[in-house]
């Protein structure tokens, strides 16, 4: 399993630079989320930059003692929505074949099929699946990122999986 990303114990809000230092460990996972949602390295770079700026401006929305990672990922996810909306043609671009080329020929069709199936999902369904199965976040953290209850997060993930079918069949999903 890929490490979901280091989360700092807390965030420093004394000034911009101390905040930048404390949020830095979250940037890689923020980038992975943005890349998974936007399907473009350049767009993901832009989205993470803007999300970090917005995180600073929205620092008052961070509850003391809360987990920084879902708070920041929620801002990244929102930035991805904004980026798609401001869009233009690039947001409509489907997955390139670059990643598929790195896989073996036998797996290409399966990965390609999933990529196409993901492209057909709504952004909210895709977000739920990316958080749960790509970033490997526990359900509790998926819930906090989506700003819903753990039960609702579980429902969203399962609903997104159902919409993925019949493209994909997944058995025995854990609740963790």
Partner 1 sequence: MDEARFRALMREAIGEELMPPWLASTVRTRLGARAPARPNRRLVYAAAAAAVALLAGGLIVPQLLPHRSNAVVPATSPSPVASPTPTAVDPANCTLPISVEIGSGPPEHITREYGFVDTQTGRFTVDGSASLDGLPHSTYWPAVFLFYSPQARRWLPSNVVSPGGLSYAWVRQPSPARGELHVYDVVSGSDRTVWSAAGDVIALTWDTTGIRVDAGPPNTSTTSWLVDPANGTAARVSVSHRPPFVLLPTDPRNAHFTTLGSDGQGHEIVWMYNLDQPGSPDWVFYETAPSQRVTIYRGTQGDAMAFDPTGGVMADSTGVWFADNVHHTLFHWREGGTLTRVGISGLPPAPSAPHPYVDVSLSGPCF
Q: Which of residues 47-66 bind partner 1 (CB under 8 A)?
A: 48-50, 52-53, 56-57
Q: Given candidates 133, 139, 148, 158, which one binds partner 1 under the rule CB under 8 A? A: 133
Distance CA 51, CA 75 (A): 6
Look-up of token digits 């114990």: 9
Question: Is 120 an interacting residue with respect to partner 1 (CB under 8 A)?
Answer: no
Q: Given candidates 60, 63, 64, 171, which one binds partner 1 under the rule CB under 8 A? A: 171
* 143, 150 Cβ separation under 8 angstroms: yes
Helices (H), the chain: 16-23, 27-38, 41-57, 68-86, 98-101, 105-120, 123-129, 139-146, 150-164
* 126, 91 Cβ separation under 8 angstroms: no
Quote the least distance from Cβ 59 to partner 1, whole Å.
11
Alpha carbon of 24 to those of 12, 57, 147, 151, 152: distances in Å?
Answer: 11, 16, 23, 31, 30
Question: Is 166 an interacting residue with respect to partner 1 (CB under 8 A)?
Answer: no
Q: Given candidates 6, 66, 109, 122, which one binds partner 1 under the rule CB under 8 A? A: 122
Question: Is 175 an interacting residue with respect to partner 1 (CB under 8 A)?
Answer: no
Question: Is 20 an interacting residue with respect to partner 1 (CB under 8 A)?
Answer: yes
Q: Given candidates 80, 130, 143, 157, which one binds partner 1 under the rule CB under 8 A? A: 130
CA angle 83, 88, 92 (to 5 degrees): 85
The binding track of 79-108 with respect to partner 1, each residue x by CB under 8 A or -, is ----x-xxxxxx-xxxxxxxxxxxx---xx
Question: Is 12 an interacting residue with respect to partner 1 (CB under 8 A)?
Answer: no
Q: Given candidates 32, 69, 144, 154, which one binds partner 1 under the rule CB under 8 A? A: 32
């Amino acid at each position: 399993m890929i490490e979901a990303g280091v989360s700092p114990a807390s965030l420093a809000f004394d000034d911009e630079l101390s905040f930048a230092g404390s949020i830095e460990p979250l940037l890689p996972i923020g980038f992975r989320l943005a890349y998974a949602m936007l399907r473009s390295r350049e767009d993901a770079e832009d989205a993470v930059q803007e999300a970090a700026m917005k995180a600073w401006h929205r620092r008052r929305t961070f509850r003391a003692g809360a987990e920084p990672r879902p708070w920041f990922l929620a801002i990244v996810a929102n930035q991805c929505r904004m980026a798609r909306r401001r869009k233009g043609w690039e947001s409509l671009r489907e997955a390139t074949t670059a990643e598929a080329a790195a896989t073996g020929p036998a797996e290409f069709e399966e990965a390609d099929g999933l990529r196409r199936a993901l492209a057909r999902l709504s952004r909210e369904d895709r977000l739920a699946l990316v958080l749960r199965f790509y970033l490997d976040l526990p359900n509790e953290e998926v819930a906090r990122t989506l700003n819903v209850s753990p039960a609702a997060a579980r429902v969203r993930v399962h609903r997104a999986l159902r919409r993925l079918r019949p493209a994909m069949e997944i058995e025995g999903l854990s609740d963790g």
